[in-house]
Amino acid sequence: MQNIEDIYKEYSITVYKYLFCLTQDKEMSEDLTQETFAVAVEDIKKFRGECKLSVWLCQIAKHLWYKEKKKKKYNVSFDEVKEDILYDKTLDEIICGKEEKLKLFKNIQKLDEKSKEVLYLRMLGNLSYEEIGEILGKTSNWSRVTFYRAKQKIREGNKNER
């Protein structure tokens, strides 16, 4: 097993990117990244090697984020949505319309947890399918298919609402 400094050097950016996708907050992501590695130091003996170390670290990070979110009732902002993939509208139309953002958020919340995670990581984190797969312990193809299916579900939901 590597020492914690080597683990930190190798995985801190991945954990930070993952947290930034969830929080959309630079300082919170930095704090939670540090906290993630503090927990990892304490719990390293619990790591059984059944998944990649990066996946284990991201799971710790996600748990800490949920804990923080629950504690502060933290809300994710969609002001940073950078793609117009979910609607047949321009990015400006999506961002400008508060109702559109609310509808997008509601439709994303209807998805299963893995689909939501993939959407957040892809849209807000600009992560590649390969990076998403590594974080979630899946293949890049699984990430691509999950993202595509999530988009389709949201598009279908939008058509049904019209």
Looking at the domain 4-72, which fold is it? Rna Polymerase Sigma Factor; Chain: A (1.10.1740)
Mean pLDDT of 119-141: 86
The pLDDT of residue 76 is: 42
Q: Is the per-residue pLDDT at 85 higher than 60?
A: no
Per-residue pLDDT of 5-35, as tens digits, reads 888 898 898 888 888 887 778 888 899 999 9
Domain with CATH 1.10.10.10 in the chain: 91-161
Q: Provide the token pair at 79.
A: 């002001």
Which CATH architecture is the domain 91-161 placed in? Answer: Orthogonal Bundle (1.10)
The pLDDT of residue 30 is: 92
Amino acid at the residue 46? K
The pLDDT of residue 77 is: 43
Q: Using CA atoms, how far apart are residues 139 and 142, in angstroms rounded to an integer?
A: 5
Give the confidence band of 41 by pLDDT, cuts at 50, 70, 90. Answer: confident
The pLDDT of residue 154 is: 83
Q: Which of 134, 131, 132 is nearest to 150 (CA)?
A: 132
- By percentage, how much of the chain surpasses pLDDT 70? 77
Cβ(61)–Cβ(18) under 8 Å? Answer: yes
Amino acid at the residue 74? Y
Domain with CATH 1.10.1740 in the chain: 4-72
Cβ(50)–Cβ(59) under 8 Å? Answer: no
